[in-house]
Chains A and B, each alone.
Chain A
Amino acid sequence: MIRNRIKELRTKLGMTQGELAEACGVRRETIVFLEQGKYNPSLQLAHAAAKALGTTIDDLFQFDD
């Protein structure tokens, strides 16, 4: 299972889901599902999200081993 801090960092930056979606090149619904932990992103999307939120993939996503 993969947990993430997307919503936490997004709201801290004052960014809307739509703005983050546009920055990542995906639809807003995808960001919604990402934040809810219902979708596991590709490496490309994970990198784009981390870059848009000014952090790293390791900091943004946590893997439960």
Chain B
Amino acid sequence: MAVVTGQYWLFAATVLVGSLVNLALRRRTPEANADERDHQIDGASALMALQIFAWIGLGAAFLLFYYQDRIPQFATIAGTLTIAAAGVMILYGLIDTYLRRVQNGRLGLFSAFAAFLVVALVILSLRLLSGEDDWICSNGTWVMHGHPTAEAPSTPCPEPR
């Protein structure tokens, strides 16, 4: 609901609070939450899920790009799918490399590179989600704010009463 209504801060806060509560509750549980067998299965499951998501996402993106002439919004959705698929695969590769290097005690420059990448992604996300470049409804017409890449919304822009 928070994402649908555009209240992204509420979404982020909910995810953060939920994660912290989950961590706190797991620490209080005496028996093992997950052991080596769980990690083995979880790892295989996660990799398979990522691969399936990447293939389906890219396949859907190609289809949407192909039909973008019929519905212009398809191009935006396809771009988002492509970035999401590439993003999770890159993230998987980074985490996999990090864990292997931690095991071998060879982090070196990798930590600095990973930290730089995370900061860059956060800044990029804030830039894209901030609504800086967007269309604003003003006096019954859609007005550009900045340089939005999308076309003007097709929904009506009501005049103020």
Q: Identify the A interface with B (CB < 8 A).
A: 21-22, 25-27, 29-30, 33, 39, 41-42, 44-45
Report B29-58 residues with CB < 8 Å from chain A CB.
Answer: 31-32, 34-38
**A–B complex contacts, Cβ < 8 Å, 27 sampled:** A21-B31, A21-B32, A22-B31, A25-B32, A25-B35, A26-B32, A26-B35, A26-B36, A26-B37, A27-B31, A27-B32, A27-B34, A27-B35, A27-B37, A27-B38, A29-B37, A30-B35, A30-B36, A30-B37, A30-B38, A33-B37, A39-B37, A41-B36, A42-B36, A44-B36, A45-B35, A45-B36
> Shortest beta-carbon distance, A27 to chain B, in Å?
5
Q: Which of B32, B36, B37, B38 has the most CB of A within 10 A?
A: B37
What secondary structure prevails in chain B residues at the interface with A?
loop
Report B9-34 residues with CB < 8 Å from chain A CB.
Answer: 31-32, 34
Q: Which of A27, A39, A45 has the most CB of B within 10 A?
A: A27
In the complex formed, the residue of A with least CB distance to B35 is A26
> Shortest beta-carbon distance, B42 to chain A, in Å?
13
In the complex formed, the residue of A with least CB distance to B38 is A27
Give Cα A20–Cα B99 distance, bound, in whole angstroms: 30
Chain A residues with Cβ under 8 A from B34's Cβ?
27
Q: Which of B34, B36, B38 has the most CB of A within 10 A?
A: B36
Chain A residues with Cβ under 8 A from B31's Cβ?
21-22, 27
In the complex formed, the residue of B with least CB distance to A18 is B31
Known contacts A25-B32, A27-B37, A41-B36, then 4 further A-B pairs from the complex at CB < 8 Å, ordered by chain A residue: A27-B31, A30-B36, A30-B37, A30-B38
Chain B residues with Cβ under 8 A from A21's Cβ?
31-32
Give Cα A40–Cα B37 distance, bound, in whole angstroms: 9
Chain A residues with Cβ under 8 A from B32's Cβ?
21, 25-27
